[in-house]
Amino acid sequence: MTLPFFEHKDDAGRQLPIAMAHRGFSAEGLENSMAAFRSGVELGFRYLETDVHTTADGVLLLFHDETLDRVTDGRGRVAELPAADVAKARINGREPIPTFDELVTQLPHARLNLDVKDWNSVQSTAAAIERHQAHQRVLVTSFSDRRRRAVLRLLSRPVASSAGVASSALFTLLGPVLPRPLFRRLMRRVLRDVHALQVPVRYGRVPVVSAGFIRRAHALDLVVHVWTINDAVEMHRLLQLGVDGIVTDRADLLRGVLMERGEWPGGHPPGAAS
């Protein structure tokens, strides 16, 4: 993968698995807060996964839900509230909801996996990327391929992007049954602007991540990131299988697994001199 977002190499030039802190890292329920993002970075994570919603007056926030109710002491739909009102809410009663501008400027070396949660955030996401010239630092994703592509069309330069649910489902279901040449031709059209498949281990009862899935993705020059993995044994299994990245709530566990495998930036392979 040639886009700068995916370049994650050790001192010897070896590509390392991408470790991504899901909504930052917090054992105290402070998801998508600057405290959680800083904790991830302090652990050594270069990649942060987050979500974007937009206030009624156009401010791009890092927040997962449509409403403030679940994770903050505030109430109401983000898209219907002005930024000044949202700024009064506190995540778990403690931390303010950060803006995209705050994260991109306060943690200038972090790479950001941006999940565009609603249509109200299409223009504000593209405008924020342009404003900060953050094209090389972001990956744009969404469950909706149409919404994701709407963001990409507004950008002046290419950015990394991952497939939505429909495209990922087609790849998963058709891969084992279509003849290889037909599958590749079809997927090159369906995934024409996609660089990554970010998927769970399974969708319901349907298994997704397998050796064949990874092999088919790599044949199309796509990377495979798996979410949301919080068990060390499963992390080891997926890395051994050949996935290119893992998204986790347990950044501490994933860091330990990668250090054990000699696949953490600045780390050493098992048995190597330090």
List, for residues 24-55, the tens digit of each pLDDT value: 999 999 999 999 999 999 999 999 999 999 99
The answer to whether residue 145 scores a pLDDT higher than 80 is: yes
What pLDDT was estimated at residue 26?
Answer: 97
Catalytic residue annotation: 22, 64
Is the pTM higher than 0.85? yes
**Domains defined along the chain, listed by start:** 4-66+98-260 (3.20.20.190)
Query: Torsions phi, psi of 55, nearest 5?
Result: -75, 170
The CA distance from 105 to 109, in Å, is 9
Asked if the model's pLDDT at residue 88 lies above 60, the reply is yes
- pLDDT above 70 (res 272): no
What pLDDT does residue 132 have? 98
3-state helix, strand, coil in the chain (%, to 5): 40, 20, 40
Q: Are 117 and 49 in contact (CB under 8 A)?
A: no
Beta strands in 101-143 (DSSP E): 111-116, 138-141
| pLDDT, position 2 | 77
Q: What is the arithmetic mean of pLDDT over 66-77?
A: 98
